[in-house]
A and B are shown apart, each in its own frame.
Chain A
Amino acid sequence: MNYLPNILFAIILIAGIGYFARNVKKLFRNIKLGKDKDINDNKSQRWKNMAMIALGQSKMVKRPVSGFFHIIVYVGFVIINIEVLEIIIDGLFGTHRIGLSILPESLYGFLIGTFEVLAALVFIAVIIFWIRRNVIKLKRFMSSEMSGWPKNDGNIILYFEMVLMTLFLVMNATDTSFQALDSGNIISQYIAPLFSGLSENSLHLVERSSWWLHIVGILIFLNYLYYSKHLHILLAFPNTYYGKLTPKGQFPNNDAVTKEVKLMMDPDADPYAVPAEDEADVPPAKFGASDVQDLSWLNLLNAYSCTECGRCTSECPANLTGKKLSPRKIMMDTRDRLEEVGKNIDANNGVFVDDGKQLLNDYITTEELWACTSCNACVEACPISIDPLNIIMEMRNYLVMEQSAAPMELNNMMTNIENNGAPWPYNQMDRLNWKDE
C-alpha cells in the first residue's frame, strides 16, 4: 500500500496548524503589550452578550441587507466546516468518505445535502458582497482608509470563499460513487453533467484535485486570518465578551490621577514629603496614550477584532460632515501600529527598540482626535462591541495632561473652570443671578 498521500497530508496539516499556532501566540503577545485592565465582573452578563452579539449576530441585523447575507455566510461557514473533520480523517487514514461507513446512509446524505445547499447560498451571498464592494461601491467601503491593502483584503476573503465553496461542490460532483448514491447531492447533481464528457480517470483526477485544493485552501485561509480583517471570525467572541457593560457615557476615572488629586486635596498631606522607598523607583505614571503600549489590552483586542465594516464611520457626525476623523481608521491605525511594534520586537530578540515612531501623529493626527464629539455613535454602531471612543479619549488625555497641547479655545475654557468653576469667564458669585433676572 502506498502511504505517500497520508504522509503528505499529515505534513501539510501539521505545517498549516503549526504556523497558525505560531501566529496565535504572536497575537496574544501583542495584545498583552497593552496595559492591564481587570475585567472579571458580571460573568453571566458577559456570556449572554457574547451569545447574543457574536453568536446570535444581534447587531449585524440592524442593517438588514448586509446582516441577512452575513448570517448566511457565517452559518454556512461554521456548518460546512464540520465536513473538514471527515476530510482530515480521510486524509490521515487513507479512507474515502469515512462518514458513509460510520453514519447511516440517509443521515450522511442529509448532512452533505445540507452542506451543499449552504455552500451554494454562501456562494451567492459572497457574490452579493463582492458586488456591493466593487460594482455598487457602497460609500462606507470607499473611504480613504479603505484603499490599498484593506480593499484587497476585503476582496481576497471573498475570492477565497468563492473558490472553497466551488471546490467543495466540484469535489462532490466528480465523485462518481457519491453521485451514484443519489443522496445528499442536492446541488452537485446539477454540476456533475458539466463533467460528463470526462473519462473515469480524468473524473477521478478532478475529484482528487478538488479534494486536495479544498483542504489546502482551508489551511491557507486559516493562516491568512492573522494578516486580515477576517480575524474577526475568531476574535469577535472574546471581544463581545469583554465589551463595555457600564453606560456608554461613563468614561473610566484614571486611578493614578485620583491618587494625586486626593493628595492635593488632603490638608494633612505634606507636599515636601520624601516619597517612600519603594515608591521612589517607580517612574511617574504616564497619563493617557501616545502609543499602543499605553492603551489597554482591551483596546488592542478591539483593534485586532475590527472587521473594517465601517458601520461606525458611517454614523460618525464628524465623518459625515467631512472631517478627517473616522473611528474605523482609529481602529485600523491602532492595529497597524501594533503590528509594527510586534515586528520590531521579533526583529530585536524580544525587546522593543525605539523606532522614533508612535501611534500619535505618525498614524493618528491631533486633527482627527479633536474632531470627536464623544457622541458614542460609533460604539453603538459596531456589530462586535468595539469602542473607538475610548482610544480617542486616552489619546486626548495624553495630549492635554502630558503635552498641554489642547486647542487654544479649550485651554481657555479649562482655565475658566479652574478659576471660576465655569467654562466661561463669569464670577462664581454670580452663579445664582439668573433667579432675579
Chain B
Amino acid sequence: MSEQLIVPTMAELIAEGKTPDILFWVGSAGSYDDRAKKITKAFVKILNKAKVNFAVLGTEESATGDLAKRAGNEFLFQMQAVMNIEVLNAYNVKRIVTCDPHSFNCIKNEYPGLGGTYEVLHHTQFIKELITTNKLKINESSFKDKRITFHDPCYLGRANSEYNAPRDVLKTLNATLLEMKRNKATALCCGAGGAQMFKEPEKGDKDINELRTEDALETKPDIIATGCPYCMTMMSDGVKVKEKENEIKVMDVAELIASSQNL
C-alpha cells in the first residue's frame, strides 16, 4: 500500500466541529467480505485522491435491512431501517454514496417512507461526478485497449434505471467496451439477489452465475467489470467454474479507476 487511507468517521468529524459533504455508506459486504473490502479501499483511494470531504459511520453503521426485506422479513428490515435513520438524521446527513447497489436502492427508495430522505448515489455515479467536475483527473490508463465487459447489477440497472454512469466511467479508461447479448434492461441477474447469496440455490440444471459468466465469456473479455460486491462474488466464482481465472479478471469499476491511476 502506498499511503495510509484517510477514513474519518462521522463521530470524529463532528467532534472536531466539521461536517462532511458526503457520507460513504460502506455496507455489510464492503465492511466484512474480503473481496468486497478491496472495492471499499479502492473507492476510498479515489475519494482521498479527489480530496473529497467525506466520512463513514464506522461502528455506528448497521445492515440496511435490505437483505431481510428481500428474504421476506419486513419486520427486521424496518427495525434496521429505523435504527439507521435515527443515526443518519442525528448527524444531519444529506448526501450518501455507496458501492453496494442493494444499499443504494434500499436507502434511496425505501428509507424515505420511514423518515429518512437523502440524496443517494451509487459510487459509479459519484465517480462520474468527480470526473466531470474535474476533481478527479484520469490520466493515461493502464487498461488502454483491454477488452472490458460490464455486468449490470440488477439493483442499479433495472431497479433504478442507471445504465450509463458505470459505462461513462469505464469509457475514460480508453479500453474496448463490449456489451453482452443481455445487457442493460435485459441483463441477466448474477444469481445473488433476493438473498440468494446466503442460501443454496433450488434444484435446477445450472447455477445462475455460471449462465451469466457464459454471457460474459462470449464477449471474449480480459476483464469483467461490475459495480456490486455480490455480483463480484458471483462472477468471480463463475469465472473459476469455467477455469478462466488466470486469463480473466473480475473487477469493480472503482478498482479499475483506482488501479489505472496507480492509486
Contacts and interface: CB of A to CB of B under 8 A. Distances in A.
A354 interface: no
B58 to A, nearest CB: 4
A423 B186 CA distance: 29
Contacts of B212: 317
A323 B69 contact: no
Given A261-B78, A414-B71, A426-B32, A246 B109 contact: yes
Given A413-B195, A434-B41, A423 B74 contact: no
Interface string A252-268: 01100110111011000
Contact of B70 (A265, A325, A374, A435): A374
Contact of B154 (A318, A376, A414, A418): A376
B198 A410 contact: yes
Interface string A135-156: 0000000000000000000000
Contacts of A406: 71-73
B241 interface: no
A245 to B, nearest CB: 12
Given A249-B109, A320-B188, A435-B7, A417 B74 contact: no
A251 interface: yes
A271 interface: no
Contacts of A322: 203-206
Interface residues of A, number: 68
A381 B189 CA distance: 14
A247 interface: yes
A266 to B, nearest CB: 10
Contact of B78 (A253, A367, A370, A424): A253
Interface stretch (B60-68, B130-138, B166-174, B255-263): B60-68
Contacts of B160: 247-249
Interface in A312-327: 315, 317-318, 320-325
A320 B201 CA distance: 13
Given A257-B78, A262-B82, A409-B198, A317 B105 contact: no
B73 A428 contact: no
A321 B205 contact: yes
B186 A254 contact: no
A332 B72 CA distance: 22
A328 interface: no
Contacts of A434: 26, 30-32, 37, 40-41
A423 B71 CA distance: 12
A284 to B, nearest CB: 13
Contacts of B159: 247-250, 376
A121 B204 CA distance: 42
Interface string A394-436: 0011111100001101101110011001111010111111110
B246 interface: no
A61 interface: no
Given A247-B105, A376-B159, A401 B72 contact: yes
Contacts of A401: 72-75
A324 B202 contact: yes
A288 interface: yes
Given A251-B69, A432-B59, A376 B158 contact: yes
B117 interface: no
A371 B202 contact: yes
Contacts of A426: 32
A375 interface: yes
A373 interface: yes
Nearest to A400: B72
Given A370-B202, A422-B32, A249 B72 contact: no
A397 B72 contact: yes
A369 to B, nearest CB: 9
Contact of B198 (A250, A318, A323, A423): A423
Given A247-B160, A320-B188, A434-B40, A397 B74 contact: yes
Given A253-B114, A417-B67, A261 B82 contact: yes
Nearest to A435: B7
Contacts of B76: 414, 417-418
A321 B192 CA distance: 14
B202 A318 contact: yes
B154 A375 contact: yes
Interface in B170-199: 185-186, 188-189, 191-196, 198-199
B114 A258 contact: yes
Contacts of B68: 414, 417
Contacts of A265: 79, 82-83
Interface string A215-248: 0000000000000000000000000000000111
B161 interface: yes
B192 A373 contact: yes
A428 B62 contact: yes
A127 interface: no
Interface in B87-104: none
B5 interface: yes
B165 interface: no
Interface centre among B9, B59, B206, B210 (most CB of A within 10 A): B59
B198 A247 contact: no
A410 B202 CA distance: 13
Contacts of B69: 251
B198 A375 contact: no
7 contacts: A324-B202, A374-B194, A377-B158, A381-B186, A421-B61, A421-B62, A432-B9
Given A248-B159, A373-B194, A410-B195, 14 more contacts: A248-B160, A249-B109, A250-B105, A320-B188, A320-B211, A398-B72, A401-B74, A401-B75, A406-B73, A414-B73, A417-B68, A428-B59, A434-B32, A434-B40
